[in-house]
Amino acid sequence: MALLELDGVSRVYEDLKALDGVSIAVEKGEWIAIMGPSGSGKSTLMNIVGCMDQPTGGRVLLDGRDISKVRGRELTEIRRSRIGLIFQQFHLIGYLNALENVMVAQYYHSMTDEKEAMAALERVGLAKRARHLPSQLSGGEQQRLCIARALINYPEIILADEPTGNLDGSNEEIVMELLHEMHRDGRTVIVVTHSPKVADHAQRVIVLEHGRLVDDRRNTERRE
């Protein structure tokens, strides 16, 4: 059984079909890149997989369980326990320092553990900047912090929406290396990207256009 299965998933905003009958099966431990032009529904898809939005049609199965009708608290619980999120705009809390930003994720998940949060920062190379506010960090450092926060609760699924969209080449490489580490740890990684270079790291590439799935291929020249 696939870890995650989308079966004819649609998401309609008023009269706009952001997703239109998309069906994908994601195996545990897979690394998938989602590509497609702007407005093709990539973020909409991520929202649904990340349990932050619900489809207006079709089914989403997580471990065989249909979560497309699950709402409110239960959906929050699934998101909290199984999903790690990385964003293009980082979304760090401005009035908390790096360490505290990681601990926020612990706080909503279960217990806060400063040592563990510190270890996560160390892993992304930010141990020395633990007490800095996000505004005192560079873009690359902010994204690494975002990754440390996504890692902290050992989520099974990592969702990254344009994680390198705001980064330069060398920072992009650091972030991709961190994603590789997570993947090697056995996590399922789904990355939305415009960049073919970033997509090359994935084992499988999915392409959306106007909310429809137009391509789903194995990546033969994968970069390790």
Which spans of this chain sit near ligand ATP (rule: CB under 6 A)?
Answer: 13, 16, 18, 36, 38-44
User: 144, 126 in Cβ contact below 8 A?
Assistant: yes
Minimum CB distance to another protein smaller for 76 or for 219: 76
For residue 71, the partner it binds in Mg ion, another protein, ligand ATP, none, with Cβ less than 5 to 8 A by kind, is: none
| Shortest reach from residue 30's CB to another protein, in Å | 21
| Shortest reach from residue 19's CB to Mg ion, in Å | 12
Does 144 interact with another protein (rule: CB under 8 A)?
A: no
In the list 114, 177, 185, 215, the residue contacting another protein (rule: CB under 8 A) is 114
Does 222 interact with another protein (rule: CB under 8 A)?
A: no
Minimum CB distance to another protein smaller for 65 or for 71: 71
| Shortest reach from residue 10's CB to Mg ion, in Å | 18
Does 23 interact with another protein (rule: CB under 8 A)?
A: no
Does 166 interact with another protein (rule: CB under 8 A)?
A: no
**What gap in Å lies between CA 128 and CA 122, rounded to an integer?**
8
Calculate the CA 215 to chain-centre distance: 20
Q: How far is CA 165 from CA 35, 57, 73, 89, 143, in A?
A: 13, 30, 32, 8, 10
In the list 46, 137, 148, 167, the residue contacting another protein (rule: CB under 8 A) is 46
Of the candidate spans 106-114, 118-126, 168-176, 182-190, the one that interacts with another protein by CB under 8 A turns out to be 106-114
Minimum CB distance to another protein smaller for 2 or for 127: 127
Q: Which residues bind another protein (CB under 8 A)?
A: 43, 46-47, 50, 52-53, 73, 76-77, 79-81, 85, 87-89, 91, 93-96, 100, 103-105, 107-109, 111-112, 114, 133, 149, 161
